[in-house]
Amino acid sequence: MDQNRLEKDNVLRIGGVSSTELAKICGTPLYVYDEALIEDKLKSYQTHFKSNLFDTEIIYASKAFSCGAMLRLLKNNGFSLDVVSGGELYLAESEGFPMERVYFHGNNKISEELEMALNYGCKTIVVDHLMECDRLISLAERKKKEVHAIIRINPGVTAHTHKYIITGDMDSKFGVSIQSEETILGMIIRMKASKYVIFDGFHAHIGSQIFDLRAYDTLIERMMKLFKKLQEMHKIEIGCLNLGGGFGVRYTDQDQPKTVKDVCENLIGKCESEMAEKGIRLKKLMIEPGRSVIAEAGCTLYKVGDLKETPNRSYLFVDGGMTDNIRVALYEAKYDCDLANKMDQVRNRKYTIAGKCCESGDILIENAMLPEVKANDLIVVYGTGAYGYSMASNYNRMNKPAVVFAKDGKAHIVIKRESYSDQLRFETDEEVFA
């Protein structure tokens, strides 16, 4: 642990703010983000994702974590935004996020959502398949509204954590298979025939928590091969290519992610060399990071409740669990933790950290090495910034925790903690057929 993150009394500081003070004032469980770490990541992407041959754009995937404060950071740092639902679109619009920098994704955008996107002036729709292409064209024509479109391709490269598979899942629910050239061509021809839908290029996203950058090399090679065919055989110019996100982060010592610089230089370099080799013209290259922007900047604070010994385990119970972090139950995700109020003590005890939900699978960390823990101690689980709050639920009628941004010794609550009465807001007894 970095010494400048510690107070003299060996309490963890986040963004220069004492974790125990935060827990006392804001309650627990509590999501805390180090705002400077988020800004560093944003700046790092902006610095390194650059080319002399084409324009670049960095699009943050909202689904990893979004709220007004996050959108303001993104806006101020020149990021664009990827939304996948009416709800995410609504947040972007309410925050005044520039709609020419919003990309609307999803494999089943319902017609109301598409209409909402056009009404808001959302510039680009990432079209998932043929039927959606037709729906978008007729909607744009009916509304007489211009909209840009890029086609999502399933490139047949599936990457997960350390492994990647070529021609992995050709039956994924996302995108048009790269093998379905007729369909791809058909979609482009339909868009080009439409007065209102402007075809810009292509998108592909190959997975999440990817460490092996060769997966992206394969992706780029395949996309460029497609572009060459479209360019040479069909005289179709490709405006842009969006390579998706999925760049790996460090949750535990087992994870050794590449730096933002390495990721960006690799992608840019590979695109430049493929373009030169194949004679491809491309105006813009985009990426869409989510997790890698936000995961490591966030952590969760929990208060320790009771402790319990079973024949083979020492349980340590915390006041949250799968409702604020479903990733462990869902993906067997691994996390690191510390005792935030006793950072100096030797970690010589082994605990199973369990949540308070009525599920045996509600375990946050197995075999956590910690100093001796007592009731009311403060646990910090690191790296919970992505897919923590955004996947939180009210299972067992637990309240969703508050979210705090901390920087330079100051802290702001950016999302309030839910209350029990908040959860009853929608209770009603309305007659349906009046």
Give me the least distance between CB of 109 and ligand PLP, in Å please: 13
Give me the least distance between CB of 245 and ligand PLP, in Å please: 3
- Reply yes or no: is the peptide bond before residue 29 cis, omega within 30 of 0: yes
Residue with Cβ nearer ligand PLP (246 or 320)? 246
Tokens (6 digits) for 84: 């996948």
Touching ligand PLP, residues 245-264 (CB under 6 A): 245-247
State phi, psi for 298 to the nearest 5 degrees. Answer: -115, 150
132 touches ligand PLP (CB under 6 A): no
399 touches ligand PLP (CB under 6 A): no
- For residue 340, the one-letter residue type is A
63 touches ligand PLP (CB under 6 A): yes
User: Which parts of 257-348 are beta strand (E)?
Assistant: 284-287, 298-309, 314-318, 337-339
Interatomic CA distance for residues 197 and 217, integer angstroms: 30
Marked catalytic residue, from 26, 271, 299, 358: 358
Residue with Cβ nearer ligand PLP (207 or 321)? 207
Could you identify the residue written with the tokens 């900047």? 297
Touching ligand PLP, residues 163-202 (CB under 6 A): none
341 touches ligand PLP (CB under 6 A): no
User: Which parts of 326-362 are beta strand (E)?
Assistant: 337-339, 349-354
Residue with Cβ nearer ligand PLP (15 or 246)? 246
Residue with Cβ nearer ligand PLP (61 or 378)? 61
Q: Which CA distances in Å does 334 have to 201, 211, 295, 307, 331?
A: 37, 16, 13, 21, 9
244 touches ligand PLP (CB under 6 A): yes
Rule CB under 6 A: choose which of 38, 61, 178, 379 binds ligand PLP. 61
Residue with Cβ nearer ligand PLP (103 or 227)? 103
- Site stretch for ligand PLP (CB under 6 A), options 286-294, 308-316, 326-334, 369-377: 286-294
Interatomic CA distance for residues 349 and 49, integer angstroms: 44
291 touches ligand PLP (CB under 6 A): yes
Could you identify the residue written with the tokens 């996947």? 391
Touching ligand PLP, residues 77-96 (CB under 6 A): 82
Give me the least distance between CB of 173 and ligand PLP, in Å please: 11
**Residues shown for the chain:** 434
> Quick check: helix, strand or coil at residue 185?
helix
HSE value, Cβ hemisphere, 13 Å, CA-based, for 213: 15
The stretches of 51-129 forming alpha helices (DSSP H) are 68-76, 86-94, 111-120
Give me the least distance between CB of 118 and ligand PLP, in Å please: 20
**Beta-bridge mates of residue 366:** none
Angle between helices 130-143 and 111-120 (to 10 degrees): 50
Give me the least distance between CB of 243 and ligand PLP, in Å please: 9
Contact between 362 and 354 under an 8 Å Cβ cutoff? The reply is yes
* Best CA proximity match to 216, nearest among 263, 175, 283, 258: 263
Contact between 409 and 17 under an 8 Å Cβ cutoff? The reply is yes
Touching ligand PLP, residues 21-60 (CB under 6 A): none
The stretches of 27-156 forming alpha helices (DSSP H) are 35-48, 68-76, 86-94, 111-120, 130-143
Q: Are strands 30-34 and 298-309 parallel, antiparallel or unpaired?
A: antiparallel
Give me the least distance between CB of 400 and ligand PLP, in Å please: 20
Rule CB under 6 A: choose which of 289, 321, 385, 401 binds ligand PLP. 289
155 touches ligand PLP (CB under 6 A): no
Contact between 88 and 61 under an 8 Å Cβ cutoff? The reply is no
Residue with Cβ nearer ligand PLP (104 or 302)? 104
Closest-by-Cβ residue to ligand PLP is: 290
Give me the least distance between CB of 346 and ligand PLP, in Å please: 35
Rounded to 5°, the CA angle 118-188-223 comes to 105
* # residues near ligand PLP by CB under 6 A: 17
64 touches ligand PLP (CB under 6 A): yes
Rule CB under 6 A: choose which of 20, 208, 323, 352 binds ligand PLP. 208
Give me the least distance between CB of 207 and ligand PLP, in Å please: 7
404 touches ligand PLP (CB under 6 A): no
Rule CB under 6 A: choose which of 123, 205, 270, 356 binds ligand PLP. 205
Q: Could you confirm whether 358 is annotated as catalytic?
A: yes
Catalytic residues: 358
Residues near ligand PLP (CB under 6 A) are 61, 63-64, 82, 105, 205, 208, 244-247, 288-292, 386
